[in-house]
Amino acid sequence: MAVKALYDYDFPSADRAENFGDDQLVFVQWKGNPFFCSAAAFRAPKAMPFGEFVAAMVVPWAGSDPEFDLAAVHDWRLFGEPLTPADGVALTELGIGHKALISFSA
């Protein structure tokens, strides 16, 4: 349903990919851990290798839970579907695009 307006109501998305240049937003959820109220949001280079993304962004965040153990991290998922990450592969090459939601268990 289009928005009813006195004129053609059409505006660009405030968070469209181009507003982030070579970067993008990625959301990361630690499944089954209510210590974190929600998934975290990160701005990361599209070309950032997955391993670097985890080390530079996910670990400092998840590590505020004293029970976090990087070695125990498993079952990565992208929008709920299984994801096979490879540390050296860029986020976008893994299919992790702008505003993607990925999750892990630990």
- In the list 73, 89, 99, 106, the residue contacting other proteins (rule: CB under 8 A) is 99
Contacts 24+ apart (CB under 8 A), 7-15: 15/99
| Cα–Cα nearest to 105, from 80, 92, 86, 89 | 80
- In the list 22, 38, 81, 84, the residue contacting other proteins (rule: CB under 8 A) is 38
Contact 69, 106 (CB under 8 A): yes
Which range in 22-30, 46-54, 70-78, 87-95 contacts other proteins by CB under 8 A?
22-30
Examine residue 68 and tell whether it contacts other proteins (CB under 8 A): no
* Spatial distance between the Cα atoms of 87 and 53, rounded to a whole number of angstroms: 9
Examine residue 42 and tell whether it contacts other proteins (CB under 8 A): yes
Residues forming the site for other proteins (CB under 8 A)? 1-7, 9-17, 19-20, 25, 27, 29, 32, 34-43, 57, 60-61, 63-66, 79, 97-101
